[in-house]
C-alpha cells in the first residue's frame, strides 16, 4: 500500500464532493429562479438546470484528455487554483 493513500483518497473525495454540491446548489436555486422570473414556468427553468448539467458533463471529456496530456496532479492543482481565484472574485 502506498504511504500517501489517505491523502489521495481525501483529494478524490474532495473533488467528488465539490462536483456533487455544485449540482445541489443549482437545484436549490430553482425556487428562487421561479420567483425572479414569474412569467417562466418550471419547464423553462428546467432548461437552465439541464443545460448546466449537460455543459458540466461535456467538460469532463476534454478535462480527461488534458489530464492524460499534462498529468493529473498538474491539472487538478491548476483547476483548484483557478476555482479558488474565481471564488474570491479575481
pLDDT per residue, tens digit, the chain (90 aa), is 667 888 888 878 887 887 788 788 888 888 898 999 989 888 888 898 888 888 888 888 888 888 899 998 888 888 888 888 888 875
Burial class, 34, CB count within 10 angstroms (exposed 0-12 / middle 13-18 / buried 19+): middle
Q: What CA–CA distance (Å, rounded) separates 9 from 16?
A: 11
Q: How far is CA 5 from CA 8, 14, 29, 45, 64, in A?
A: 5, 14, 36, 42, 21
> pTM higher than 0.85 for the full model?
no
pLDDT value of position 69: 92
pLDDT value of position 3: 76
3-state secondary structure of 8: helix
Amino acid at each position: 500500500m502506498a504511504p500517501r493513500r489517505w491523502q489521495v483518497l481525501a483529494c478524490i473525495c474532495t473533488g467528488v464532493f465539490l462536483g456533487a454540491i455544485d449540482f445541489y446548489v443549482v437545484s436549490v436555486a430553482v425556487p428562487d429562479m421561479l420567483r425572479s422570473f414569474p412569467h417562466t414556468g418550471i419547464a423553462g427553468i428546467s432548461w437552465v438546470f439541464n443545460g448546466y448539467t449537460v455543459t458540466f458533463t461535456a467538460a469532463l471529456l476534454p478535462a480527461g484528455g488534458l489530464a492524460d496530456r499534462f498529468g493529473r496532479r498538474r491539472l487538478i492543482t491548476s483547476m483548484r487554483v483557478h476555482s479558488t481565484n474565481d471564488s474570491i472574485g479575481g
